[in-house]
Chains A and B, each alone.
Chain A
Amino acid sequence: MLLQQLVNGLTLGAVYTLIALAFSLVMGILSILNLAVGELFMFGGYVGFAVIAAYLPLPIALLAGMAAAAVVSIVIQKIAYEPLRDAPLVTPMLSTLGCSIILQNVVTNVWGSDPLQLPTELFDTRVSLGPVNIGMMQIVVIGVTIVLVGAVAYLIQKTSAGRALRAVAENRDVARLLGVSANRITLLAFLISGCLAGAAGVLIGLHYAAITPYIGVDIGLKAIAVMVIGGTTRVWGALLAGPLIGIAEVLTIAYGGSQVRDLVVYGLMILILLLRPQGLLGGARSDIGQRV
């Protein structure tokens, strides 16, 4: 029973990890919360759904969801973020909020506000591994997440684009002096952010075999907590914190009652902010007060 919960928690956690990374890519280099990430996640899910409903295979659905979300993410960067780059943080944040409002309205109009459901025969196979009964879909979710996170980690650590990303995150002005195009890097960050959010959307939509236009908000907020707990600028931090929080949530619901779980998750987030602001795996650049 416990092991079963652990697997469920891991699956949920995998989704959190992807969205947390989507947030932290933008947060790391721009220090703003892209409030549209939740809706990008939702939008990607819908696109993935549409592909599946057309009887195309899962990988295509995944790619379609990622691509769709990435495109919208870039549009958001150009329209809502770029012109407000030097405004105080709340302004571009609210601008991304405006985008999320628009996106949600569009999705509701195109697909309706009632939940969409998949015929559940798809991906219903379950596999038994000892005492645990894992759904095929859960394996897919966890597997895809690991692949994607690995890809992002590789990108950030081993490629020149990744180096540029880290440079801009470290110090935007110096990076520019060294020839890094902050604009192009920002674009890249938004692009990857969109891909990850979109992938998460497809995965969770297929996992629950249902999707609504409103899944973005709650999961989005939780993912922010995951990002903070894992460490805002550490890829592996998100990979650690996601499952941690997913499992904590699942266990709290199973053994403590579903209502307490938010208290636990956000309480942990606040504790981390106050006591270990760089997150569990360290390294976040927090705003330090100016020196005289």
Chain B
Amino acid sequence: MSTYCAGLFADIGILLLGALSVYIILATGQLSLGNAGFMGIGSYVASYLTVELHWPLTPALIAAALSASIIGIIVGFPALRLKGIYLAIATLGFGEMVRSFFLNFSHMGGSGGYHGMQHVSLGYIWAWAAGILLLLTLLERSRLWLEMRAVHDDETAAGLIGLNTTATKVGAFGFGAAVAAIAGGLFAHHYVYIEPANFGFERSIDFVLAVILGGSTVGAGALLGAALIVLLPEWLRFLADWRLAAFGTLLILVLLTRRQGILDRPLLAKLSFRGKSP
């Protein structure tokens, strides 16, 4: 596979993880526009561990995921007080604060960025990406996921059928943050150079875009969305200077015609020849 193609696939894998991090949190009805912040935390923590402390990558990624999930849980608690667009705005603020923090964090380069990481193979990236996607696909059939969807549909009613909505919502932030951190750690070891600008609002929005475009009610939607976001600008190259406008147009068209995104549960069931779900 050419380096160019490998690069694209790496991008898809990393974006997939970022998209899944948004998907997990969105499943409980919370829109997070700041997951690039968790990605950044994961990136810097993992890089610090491998470069300064010479840890092997896998434990470094796990440690990065754990640290980010702690931050995620810390964010999740005040997030309980906010709903809808106000929560989204707060998470946006959080993302910007993380970015700003790393701009000031001169120990790891500040605005100059950080490097020294070892390059990791495409296979390794996809081992994580596919692994987590698979995990989520199993989780989607679990009672925990039903509880998350209940919180999404009607939080008050969910509490009144005995669901601990606090644990569910905060836990979702923790879990989502961990997944975003893994995306960050892999990003750092793929591009072997990171800087705060990599983890700004545009990145967070890319995650959200992938989920909404690909299908916001199924994990496979994040995969489709990530692929589209990475590959469409390539396929549209023939439009030269107008390809971004074309991308924007396509985005609007999809949203207008299929609000739930391209993939949803019925379509997925049909495509996988399983027929109707139980």
Contacts and interface: CB of A to CB of B under 8 A. Distances in A.
B3 to A, nearest CB: 27
B89 A31 contact: no
B263 to A, nearest CB: 15
A259 B110 contact: yes
Nearest to A109: B241
A97 B97 CA distance: 22
Interface stretch (A80-88, A115-123, A145-153, A235-243): A80-88
A164 to B, nearest CB: 22
A174 interface: no
A252 to B, nearest CB: 11
B156 interface: yes
A82 to B, nearest CB: 10
Interface string A71-87: 00000000110011001
A270 B100 CA distance: 14
Contacts of B252: 79-80, 95, 98-99
Given A27-B85, A89-B31, A267-B93, 10 more contacts: A31-B84, A84-B259, A89-B88, A98-B249, A102-B244, A224-B89, A270-B93, A289-B155, A290-B156, A291-B156
B205 interface: yes
A90 B96 CA distance: 19
Contact of A274 (B81, B155, B244): B81
A267 B90 CA distance: 9
B100 A273 contact: no
B237 to A, nearest CB: 14
A261 B101 CA distance: 10
B86 A286 contact: yes
Nearest to B155: A289
Contacts of A286: 82-83, 86
B32 to A, nearest CB: 10
Given A33-B85, A273-B86, A260 B251 contact: no
Interface of B, helix, strand, loop or mixed by DSSP: helix
Nearest to A100: B248
A287 B86 CA distance: 8
Interface string B108-144: 0011000000000000000000000000000000000
A269 interface: yes
B212 A94 contact: yes
A263 interface: yes
B255 interface: yes
B99 interface: yes
Interface in B154-192: 154-156, 160
23 contacts: A27-B85, A31-B84, A33-B89, A84-B256, A87-B259, A90-B208, A90-B216, A97-B248, A98-B249, A99-B248, A101-B245, A105-B241, A105-B244, A105-B248, A217-B202, A224-B89, A228-B89, A263-B97, A266-B96, A270-B93, A273-B93, A286-B82, A287-B83
B84 A94 contact: no
A266 B156 contact: no
A232 to B, nearest CB: 9
A277 B85 contact: no
Which of the four size classes fits the interface of chain A?
35 or more
Contact of B100 (A105, A262, A269): A262
Interface in A13-68: 27, 31-33
B205 A269 contact: no
Contact of A273 (B90, B155, B205, B248): B90
B249 A102 contact: yes
B9 interface: no
A292 B156 CA distance: 7
A263 B84 contact: no
Given A105-B248, A228-B89, A277-B86, A259 B242 contact: no
Contacts of B268: none
Contacts of B255: 84, 91, 94-95, 98
B252 to A, nearest CB: 4
Contact of A105 (B84, B155, B205, B245): B245
